[in-house]
Amino acid sequence: MAGRPEGGISLSTLLPQEFIRLKRDGKALPKAAIAEFVEGMASGSVTEGQVAAFGMAVFLNGMSRDEAVALTIAMRDSGEVLAWSLPGPVVDKHSTGGVGDNVSLMLAPIVAACGAYVPMISGRGLGHTGGTLDKMDAIPGYVSQPDNQRFRKVVREVGCAIIGQTGDLAPADKRFYAIRDVTGTVESIPLITASILSKKLAAGLGALVLDVKSGNGAFMAKPRDASALAKSLVEVANGAGLPTTALVTDMNQPLASAAGNAVEVTNAVDFLTGRLRDRRLEEVTLALAAEMLVSTGLARSQKEGVANARQALQSGAAAERFGRMVHALGGPADFLAKSANHLPKAPVELAVEARSSGYVRAIATRDIGLAVVALGGGRTRPQDEVDPAVGLTRLAPVGAEVRAGDPLCLVHARSDDDAKAAANAVLAAYDIGKVRPQPSPVVLRQVSS
């Protein structure tokens, strides 16, 4: 029996409210008590209010590395933990979230085409950021939450599968994730760490690469906070037995020129087929691919990894993998060639015209994400339905030269009123001035320990 926390209550009878009180008062949480509380989250014996209170207590008081490792492992162990027997390395990537961040849709097939296996378990939109799972759900027929047998089959035969959490994988995190979204506790480093890593540990990975966003469109706006999160993730992942590295990347503007669900899928298809590749998006995607290939021994250096990833892209091998993955998970067989015929379209399109001439000096990226949420492309409550068709396309990047009347973007909306509201939000988010800003790097640093 482990020791007794303050108040003389044994761990085996520790009430949820007593567990919450320990963290509220800044006390260390015993490992066994963390496991007990997480078990209650998964079973439902811990109420939504208690989960929310615990989240706020952690948000305010933080967690030690050992507590974060214990929380991560407990959430991993709340469901099934996969094991793979494949002829190549198993690796995945996770992004902390941003606006226009559809990297996963290209990255998984690129890395698969280079010889790795990528069982990518993704999440839904959180706050102002888009969710990979919501993007995949925009594809008609695509089964984003298959049973584990189908998931395994697709990974084995195609090399990659982008899915959401099933009820069997880290169910405690699935519940916690939804509650955090609507209770103001999204930005807690220990909770982000445990949420991300519990799913990745449950996926049975051999290596993990993280894309930690920094900037005005990220949850961690300041570079030092993003670096702290990257360090936490890498330390906790390695502490839990999963070899992990991270890249800190810039999110001071939308990564792709599209923000929304179906529109980001279209952008990804264009990227894979070579019709359109946004420069910053390509740089981040190739850097992450190289990191994954190096971490699995499939490339000897970052330079070689980038070259291999670029070859998979240019040869069409990555696009072919994406098309096979979509079809294997229930989507149209001709999706890659005819995505425009299959993806939903919003009935109203409105060009947002610049009010003055000059250069795009800055973009309030979070406000762009919130404009998509307001259109219906995100959630304000866990149970909200997402409209896959709405969003923004042709977003002008920082540094672009515009004249008064030139389009800053194209709004895709359900109604004229929604389109006008989104247009006003976009205009307020764009700062246009007379001096062209200096270009900024998109990959800021690498964290390996």
CA gap 350, 392 in Å, rounded: 10
Tens of pLDDT along the chain (449 residues)? 344 444 444 445 679 999 999 999 999 999 999 999 999 999 999 999 999 999 999 999 999 999 999 999 999 999 999 999 999 999 999 998 899 999 999 999 999 999 999 999 887 776 677 789 999 999 999 999 998 899 999 999 999 999 987 778 889 998 998 899 788 888 788 998 998 899 899 989 999 999 999 999 998 889 999 999 899 999 999 999 999 999 999 999 999 999 999 999 999 999 999 999 999 999 999 999 999 999 999 999 999 999 999 999 999 999 999 999 999 999 999 999 999 999 999 999 999 999 999 999 999 999 999 999 999 998 776 677 899 999 999 999 999 999 999 999 999 999 999 999 999 999 999 999 999 999 999 999 999 97
Residue 379: the pLDDT is 77
Q: What is the largest CA-CA distance in the chain?
A: 72
- Centre a 10 Å sphere on the Cβ of residue 55 and count the other Cβ atoms it contains: 21
Contact assessment for residue 388 and residue 134, using Cβ atoms and an 8 Å cutoff: yes
> Which helix H or strand E contains 249, and what residues bound it?
strand 244-250
- Residue 444's H or E segment, with its range, is strand 443-447
* Burial status of residue 210 (CB atoms within 10 A of its CB: 0-12, 13-18, 19 or more): buried
Which residue(s) pair with 247 in the sheet? Answer: 211, 446
DSSP string, 377-436: IS-SSTTPPP-TT-EEESPPPTT-EE-TT-EEEEEEESSHHHHHHHHHHHHHHEEEESSP
Cβ–Cβ < 8 Å for 443, 287:
yes
Angle CA(305)–CA(311)–CA(312) in degrees, nearest 5? Answer: 90
Amino acid at the residue 224: R
Q: Which pLDDT score is estimated for 182? A: 81
Question: What pLDDT does 166 receive?
Answer: 73
Q: Return the structure tokens found at 242.
A: 């999963």
Structure tokens that stand for 171 in this block: 């169910």
Q: What are the chain's domains?
A: 15-76 (1.20.970.10), 91-340 (3.40.1030.10), 348-433 (3.90.1170.30)
Asked whether the beta carbons of 428 and 368 are under 8 A apart, the reply is no
How confident is the model at residue 5, as a pLDDT? 44
Contact 357, 403 (CB under 8 A): yes
Answer positive or negative: Cα dihedral of 251, 256, 258, 260. negative
The CA distance from 178 to 188, in Å, is: 14
At which residue do the structure tokens 């507590």 appear?
Answer: 67
Residue 427 burial class via C-beta count within 10 angstroms: exposed 0-12, middle 13-18, buried 19 and up: middle
- The whole-number pLDDT of residue 126 equals 65
As annotated, the active-site residues are 92-95, 132, 180, 195, 199-200
Cβ neighbours around 205 below 10 Å, total: 24
Structure tokens at 131: 């969710």
Could you tell me if 439 and 238 are in contact, meaning their C-beta atoms sit under 8 angstroms apart? no
C-alpha closest to that of 144 among 172, 163, 160? 163
Residues 313, 310: Cα–Cα separation, whole Å? 5
